[in-house]
Structure 1
Amino acid sequence: MSEALVAAEAAGTGVEPVPAASGARQFWRRLRTQRAALVAAAVVALLLLVALAAPLLTALEGQDPTSYHPALIDSARGGVPTGSLGGVSADHWLGVEPQTGRDLFARLVHGARVSLGVAFAATAVQVAIGVTIGVASALGSRWVDQLLSRLTDIIVAMPLMIMSLALLAIVPSSFPRPVLVALVIGLIAWGNIAKIVRAQTLTLKGLDYVSAARLSGWGTLRIARRELLPGLAAPVITYAALLVPMNITVEAALSFLGVGVKPPTPSWGQMLTAADVWYQAAPQYLLLPAGALFVTVLALTVLGDGVRTALDPRAASRLRVGTGRRREKKATATGERAGGTSVGQDGGPSAADTTTGGTAS
């Protein structure tokens, strides 16, 4: 509730306002009831920990992602790693790359730093631009709203992959590629979140606590910062949680097409690009980055769905398919036990209740 509205009610009734329950505490309480979301959160936390600790992990293994090991490659067979399982050994925990002999474990964990870093950075850029444009459009004048809305429509209509390919192709190679990929994705794909924020802001403008803040003499910027942004937190966080896996996929696709992160910097999409011709001779070279991408995108998607459900308890989770009847039967049985009536299998009173009733009569 608005601070201005709380103060007005307290002054009118002479009673000190009672502080509301913590929104973060309610969110965590709801999120704890969703086991799939908790498992997904643990997987995401583990992936982030691996990405942050990549230099330490590779130092523990004694390898790095760029060193070549030609002695571990069988040149007579076209560059296939020697040994079993693609060269897995105590020195190379997941084997080595075909043709180059670079350590797969080192490239996989360092690729997590690039793929996750690009995805989260692009999401931050999208959220910053989308929230700014959406709030400005909803709170601005009619002409400002029309101008920003048409700009948002143009951004939404732009094909993301084609525009990214065009921009990444003309930028000089001296510019840091991971930073460039994150900026390109963020600057092109903010239109949908801007539309969501504009629609939600228009809804919040008509609520009582925003009107009370306006009548109290607060300016537009203060109302937006103190009243509207807290109300926008739930939809923005929900959509941002779903944007991260989308951006991971886009980065992988751009690297797969050859315009993303350039060698020797490792990324999962770049590893898939180099592995497309080795799926028979060295299948682990393809399966490792593909499996990492699959697990990451799945975990982030499940976590995003759990966050959406926890922030908006009225919306049922899309992952709970076919459980509506069980929840309804459980609620009915609980209500009947609380009312003191037991129900038989045919829907009527049980034999115990009939016997008791006959004896009493």
Structure 2
Amino acid sequence: MSEALAVVETAGTGTSVPAVSGARQFWRRLRAQRAALVAAAVVALLVLVALAAPLLTALEGQDPTTYHPTLIDSARGGVPIGSFGGVGADHWLGVEPQTGRDMFARLVYGARVSLGVALAATVVQIAIGVTVGVAAALGNRWVDQLLSRATDIIVSMPLMIMSLALLAIVPSSFPRPVLVTLVIGLIAWGSIAKIVRAQTLSLKGLDYVSAARLSGWGTWRIARRELLPGLAAPVITYAALLVPANISVEAALSFLGVGVKPPTPSWGQMLTAADVWYQAAPQYLLLPAGALFVTVLALTVLGDGVRTALDPRAASRLRVGTGRKDTTGTENANENATGKAPENAADGATRGAAGSANEKEASA
């Protein structure tokens, strides 16, 4: 069925060779996009920094929670002593105003929280969305109606308002990063469920799915063996675009004071505390804002590259560094202008005429 090995016929030789696997084609198309490769390198570096946060802070000799009151000028309202916010050998990015906590340590530990919450929330969204979408598409009319209306309700809910309401009533003793992850994941799965349902309905009518059904396979075996592989491309594409959106939501919730609570560092929380220091200590605002900007931009560009690599027919929104130009349209336009038919069409017409002549001779 769908596991059959595709073969292509080598032009002019009549021999057949195995077709290039989908994974190899994906990596080849992704490597052709330089912007996506740069974005992937940036994302990999950010993930490495987040994972190695304890090691990096140990090399610096600092931690994200220790106060250093001797490094701030209390007479000036708590501004760090020294240039560039107290940057030096002991504090690579300076210290926080008013508290003296190390900025580098809080920045790298904040990356763990922001990236971890965004990735975990994306996993929750994909798991719920795929399950609901496939169940709605494969169920009977009543199941489809029930799940579709529930999905419509979820989609209509304003994410930020519902998150604010839920986070405000939950006791503070509950682990805040876990709570933010669950809130984002449980509220924002509606869009992926709609995409999966529509894609599953289109796959149900294909021949290999019908053959699996006629061979006696159960509904969920068909879903697992035949439908889920076909859903991989749109799900991966949407997941790649969900991660930067979830990072922004987590930062916004922390900025509003209902997300991750001190002393746990978070980029959004750092922005909340920095809004009154942008003149006296601008680096306190620029560092977390710059980290958020770079992370969201890199993930967005990478998501666009993944989308284009999985669906080469879709034109990339970011043409920077693709290294290839689509000349098919230009060649066809030139051929039409000169009155020449494409070679494949001419060859097809010649073969058709020859076949007709052979049939007439055989009948004679």
Give the shorter-chain TM-score range.
0.7 to 0.9
For each residue in 1:103-146, what CA deviation from the matched residue of structure 2 results, as whole angstroms up to 9, or x when unmatched? 00000000000000000000000000000000000000000000
For each residue in 1:15-65, what CA deviation from the matched residue of structure 2 results, as whole angstroms up to 9, or x when unmatched? xx9865322111101101000000000000000000000000000000000
In structure 2, what residue type is equivalent to 1:2?
S
For each residue in 1:75-105, what CA deviation from the matched residue of structure 2 results, as whole angstroms up to 9, or x when unmatched? 0000000000000010000000000000000
Rate the CA distance shift 1:187–1:90 in 2: closer, same or farther, 3 A.
same
Q: Hey, what's the Cα distance between the residues in 2 that align with 1:66 and 1:324?
A: 47
Q: Hey, what's the Cα distance between the residues in 1 that align with 2:296 and 2:152?
A: 27
**Unmatched 5+ residue regions in structure 2?**
6-15, 336-364
| Match of residue 27 from structure 2 | 28
After TM superposition, the structure 1 = structure 2 runs for residues 84-123 of structure 1, keeping only pairs within 5 Å, are: 84-123=83-122
Q: Hey, what's the Cα distance between the residues in 1 that align with 2:99 and 2:134?
A: 51
Deviation at 1:332, TM superposition (A): 4.3
Q: Hey, what's the Cα distance between the residues in 2 that align with 1:239 and 1:320?
A: 20
TM-score scaled by length of structure 2: 0.85
Alignment partner of 1:163 is 2:185: no
Q: Secondary structure at the match of 1:91?
A: coil
Q: Hey, what's the Cα distance between the residues in 2 that align with 1:262 and 1:59?
A: 23
For each residue in 1:257-308, what CA deviation from the matched residue of structure 2 results, as whole angstroms up to 9, or x when unmatched? 0000000000000000000000000000000000000000000000000000
Q: Secondary structure at the match of 1:93?
A: coil
Contact 2:32–2:323 (Cα < 8 Å) also in 1: no
| Match of residue 2 from structure 1 | 2
Q: Hey, what's the Cα distance between the residues in 2 that align with 1:325 and 1:42?
A: 21
Report how many residues are paired: 323
In structure 2, what residue type is equivalent to 1:208?
D
Q: Hey, what's the Cα distance between the residues in 2 that align with 1:90 and 1:238?
A: 43
Alignment partner of 1:76 is 2:75: yes
Rate the CA distance shift 1:18–1:204 in 2: closer, same or farther, 3 A.
farther
In structure 2, what residue type is equivalent to 1:299?
A
Report the identity percentage. Answer: 89
Rate the CA distance shift 1:287–1:47 in 2: closer, same or farther, 3 A.
same
TM-score scaled by length of structure 1: 0.86
| Match of residue 9 from structure 1 | none
**Unmatched 5+ residue regions in structure 1?**
7-16, 337-361
| Match of residue 314 from structure 2 | 315
Contact 1:2–1:213 (Cα < 8 Å) also in 2: no
Q: Hey, what's the Cα distance between the residues in 1 that align with 2:329 and 2:139?
A: 50
Q: Hey, what's the Cα distance between the residues in 2 that align with 1:166 and 1:290?
A: 26
| Match of residue 241 from structure 1 | 240
Q: Hey, what's the Cα distance between the residues in 1 that align with 2:163 and 2:18?
A: 48
In structure 1, what residue type is equivalent to 2:159?
L
Q: Secondary structure at the match of 2:279?
A: coil
